[in-house]
Amino acid sequence: MSRSTTDRLIANAERHASSIDSVDLPASPAGRIAVLTCMDSRIDIFGLLGLEIGEAHVLRNAGGVVTEDAIRSLSLSQHVLGTEEIILIHHTDCGLLGVDDEEYAAHLEDAAGKRPRWRAHGFEDLEQDVRDGAEILRSSPFVPHTDAIRGFVYEVETGRLREVALG
């Protein structure tokens, strides 16, 4: 019987647990920072930013877009767990680049028989979507620390991170 990917990952988790002597990290990130990025599996956010376990909150969703749920998480991150900075990271060759929300909703309705209440949040311009996300965060009454928001585009082709001027 062949093992599924999940079975392999669970076995990895068991090996990982046996290699940890003691994890005594507080829930609040030591770096007082949160990162919102795409769920794309090509982005090793810990390696890219040189983060250690316990240093940052990392939120991932399709496109790394600022959604209501991202605001919910960032609000908790700041109000309850003490983060004060936010990094937004989009990336080249993103699956949401060029996705039309209305067409995607129609596709799901055809496939599932029901139209979603949420949007895909497709976009045409990486840098502009980073700027738009930063502006949504700055205008949210639920995210108090908005003076230290920075945005970037990760270039999957080169492994480089370039900053987006937020204006």
Whether residue 3 lies inside any domain: the answer is no
Residues 111-158: tens digit of each pLDDT = 999 999 999 999 999 999 999 999 999 999 999 999 999 999 999 999
- Render pLDDT for 72-125 as a digit per residue (tens, 0 to 9): 999 999 999 999 999 999 999 999 999 999 999 999 999 999 999 999 999 999
- 87, 57 Cβ separation under 8 angstroms: no
Q: Which domain holds residue 146?
A: 25-164
Indicate whether 108 belongs to any domain: yes
In a domain, 16, yes or no: no
The two tokens of residue 153 are: 């585009």
* Structural contact between residues 71 and 134, judged by C-beta atoms closer than 8 angstroms: no
CA nearest neighbour of 150 among 8, 35, 9: 35
- Here the CATH number for the domain that contains residue 35 is 3.40.1050.10
HSE-up (13 A, CA, CB side) for residue 14:
6
Domain-located, residue 56: yes
What is the number of structural domains in the chain? 1
Residue 11 domain flag: no
In DSSP terms, 89 is beta-bridged to: 37, 152
